[in-house]
Structure 1
């Protein structure tokens, strides 16, 4: 159980829920945004003292019933509820991030000749990729392993503006940090993941500000506009698929509308990989 992170998450979420959203009157003027601690305790059916101790990081190990009640009171999304359970040590078994990529998955991305495809682990390290994905993301084959990390790329790459404009980069950065925070809750004992968070908070003010928002949302699908120096602009749908029986691995696919200019651009990019 991570008491400090749990306390921060509860305080952050309490500040984001308005009385009107949970059917309470606004009443007198409030000094702080969101719900009062007493209101959360009332909505969750627990004592105010118990809830205060949770927010102060000195509470007992909350049961699943308590966590479900808090999820309802704070209007948590499905991803946020799962994150709350992980922070509170539920389920009891702590999962471990595995680094091996199943052979069947390697075969799959190899067959996707015109679709950029790569395998991402919970730390946002790229574990495997096909040639067109390498060409799209800047020759992954030539990069050292520590540079094949999407979080470092989006926040620290000096040429990120050549691939994503400010709006695209902002959306992608926010979604990635929210997903990374969910992973940090699932794998609290993974030292490399925690070290990545510490590193990025020290190096990137933007990352630190996004991290401190405590937003939690697992990435599933996102539209992207990517500028490639050789083939131009590509409008793609980024599909993020969880590998069956391997929640720590995701298959990322960039698909385009058949027959569109973006589809043709990917075909040209594929031809470039064959001629190089």
Structure 2
């Protein structure tokens, strides 16, 4: 049970809700935003003292039933509810185990679609395991970590997202990393990546402090290609298309 993380997560989610979000009367202007601890406790049918101890990182191990009521009270998404269970030491549907070996079926698929679709495969930490020819043509050969590159390489960011969408993408990476870290624990590669990002990027530290958690979903991106990297592709595959699915 990660008591400190559990308490911080509960507090952040409580502060993100307004009374109106849970059907309570609005407060006068100027009052502290978010729900009060006693309001969350009442919504979850637990005592205020019990809930306060959980937020302070010194409470007992909550049962799965209590976690379910807290999830409802705090209006958690499915990803957030799973994260809450992991922090409390309960089992949740696990992601596939992280591996550095590429599944042969995926490798064959990358090759099969490379004439029309840029694609790559990563592990759950964002380490690139393989790329097909078209993805390399668009973005260059890369075998590092996508989250690290996003927060440390401005040129990479600007190729994948216009400035007004970069914050959204950054938060998506951070929220996914928090979910993965809760599953695998603070030791090992996940914790090492977190430490490196904290040391290297003030932007990452600010986003991490929001305590958001969600699985990564990859939207359509329009790749900026001023060097005409697609010139060889259009000779092999016509017509050319500019959007690419990438995280």
Structure 1 residue aligned with 2:12: 12
Counterparts in 2 of 1:127 and 1:211: CA distance versus 1, 3 Å: same
1:93 CA displacement: 9.9
Greater alpha carbon shift after TM alignment, 24-33 vs 217-226? 24-33
Structure 1 residue aligned with 2:127: 125
1:179 aligns with 2:159: no
Query: Which stretches of structure 1, 4 residues or more, deviate above 4 A after TM superposition?
Result: 27-31, 92-96, 258-261
In structure 2, the residue matched to 1:160 is 156
* CA RMSD of superposed structures (Å): 2.5
Secondary structure in structure 2 of the residue aligned to 1:227: coil
With normalisation by structure 1, the TM-score equals 0.77
Number of equivalenced pairs = 234
Q: Tell me the distance in 2 between the aligned counterparts of 1:19 and 1:168.
A: 30
Is 2:198 the counterpart of 1:196? no
Unaligned runs of 5+ in 2: 231-237
CA distance in 1, matches of 2:158, 2:174: 21
In structure 1, what is the equivalent of residue 226 of structure 2? 229
Structure 1 contact 154–169 (Cα < 8 Å) conserved: no
After TM superposition, give the deviation of residue 41 of structure 1 in Å: 0.5
**Structure 1 unpaired stretches of 5+:** 234-257, 267-276
CA contact (8 A) 1:117 1:130 kept: yes
After the TM superposition, which residues 1-276 of structure 1 pair with which residues of structure 2 at under 5 Å, given as runs?
A: 1-27=1-27, 31-91=31-91, 97-113=98-114, 114-140=116-142, 145=143, 148-160=144-156, 162-163=158-159, 164-231=161-228, 261-262=241-242
User: So what's the TM-score if we normalise by structure 2?
Assistant: 0.85
Question: More strand by proportion, 1 or 2?
Answer: 1
